[in-house]
Homo-oligomer: A and B are copies of this chain.
Amino acid sequence: MPARPAVPRSGPATIADVAAAAGVSKQTVSNVMNYPAKVREETRERVRRAVAELGFQPNRMARALRSSTAGMIACRIEPVSSHSLAHLHDRFLHALAEAGQAVGRHLMLFAVDDAEDEAATCVQLVRTGSVEGVVLYNLVPGDPRPPALREAGVPFVCFGRFSDDAEATGWVDVDNAAGVGAVVDHLAECGHRRIGFLGFPEGHRVGDDRAAGWVTAMDRHGLLAGSHRLDVRGEDTWVSGARTARGLLDRADPPTALVAASDTLAAGALQAVRDLGLALGEDVALVGYDDTPSAEVLDLSSVRQPLPEVGRRIVEALCPAGGTPVPVASLLAPELVVRGSSRRRT
């Protein structure tokens, strides 16, 4: 059966080309690729050679159509944002992409002009079979997206808790309170008693959680009573960090250590420390958050979020090994990276 002409057709080889070259049926080739055990050793080898010779790779769209699984998950890419995730944005996407690939999924990005449209876009992506599920992040209190997607039956997982309901599922988060708490523990262990906190403006989950972490930990160490107004809030900018830190350090009873809610704020605080002629790590300890590249450059202790693990959990929840999505609610622990800016007091 001279099924196919000898002339190489245009475009990549298909399963039919391989079948013809190996003298077997398409199905056998498919079996070799997916269930090798089903095929006799000898035939298998013959098919494998043909596959290698033709450089065959199964067409993803055909496979997706047949199995009705796109092998993709979607995530919105936001324009430049001043949210807390700003510095982590690309690291988060990288973690997602990597975690996805580990289980054979690719990451699709989409942009929406109007945030209102995001849910609608997600629904569309799922209904057209473009993706299996979507990832949300930068959620705000009362965010409309989770209910909208749940309503539409769109599988989704959020980076960050989006509800105060303890029963709510569909999220993976890093414990912000615990992160700041670990910093306070570390500083207290280094002998610091007066530990200040530079936070984000009130009203957003992440910032409030980090601030709450300071209060809780200070209280645990019995340091809260003597630390009146050692926690200040301000925009997440270098300038704001410098100003608020200066304010604290200029007090009659200045803190000997500062915890910042971001590396940006910490970098600003670092400036304030230098302006006052104080020695970092000696006179004043300083710890940032997010462990951005600048933290390393500045020899700044910082809190590292386990983004790779976050990515894995999200992907795992969206694309579980066996079948349908599974509700997830995991709170991961961040890790404190100690550098020169916060050493034990001598």
Q: Which residues of A contact B (CB under 8 A)?
A: 11-12, 55, 57-62, 64-65, 68, 70, 72, 77-80, 82, 86, 89-91, 93-94, 97-98, 101, 106-111, 124, 127-130, 237-239, 267, 271, 293-294, 297-298
Contacts and interface: CB of A to CB of B under 8 A. Distances in A.
Contacts of A86: 293
B124 A97 contact: no
A28 to B, nearest CB: 20
Contacts of A12: 127-129
A70 B77 contact: no
Contact of A72 (B108, B127, B128, B297): B108
A93 B109 contact: yes
Contact of A64 (B61, B77, B91, B239): B61
B60 A129 contact: yes
B97 A293 contact: no
Contacts of A101: 110-111
A62 B68 CA distance: 10
A57 B89 CA distance: 31
Contacts of A62: 65, 129
A337 to B, nearest CB: 14
Contacts of A127: 12, 55, 57
A57 B297 contact: no
Contacts of A89: 90
A97 B80 contact: no
A238 B108 contact: no
Contact of A97 (B77, B98, B238): B77
A288 to B, nearest CB: 13
A65 B72 contact: no
A324 B22 CA distance: 33
19 contacts: A11-B68, A12-B127, A59-B65, A59-B128, A61-B68, A61-B70, A61-B129, A62-B65, A65-B65, A72-B108, A77-B90, A80-B94, A82-B293, A90-B93, A93-B93, A93-B109, A101-B111, A106-B108, A108-B109
B97 A111 contact: yes
A77 B130 CA distance: 20
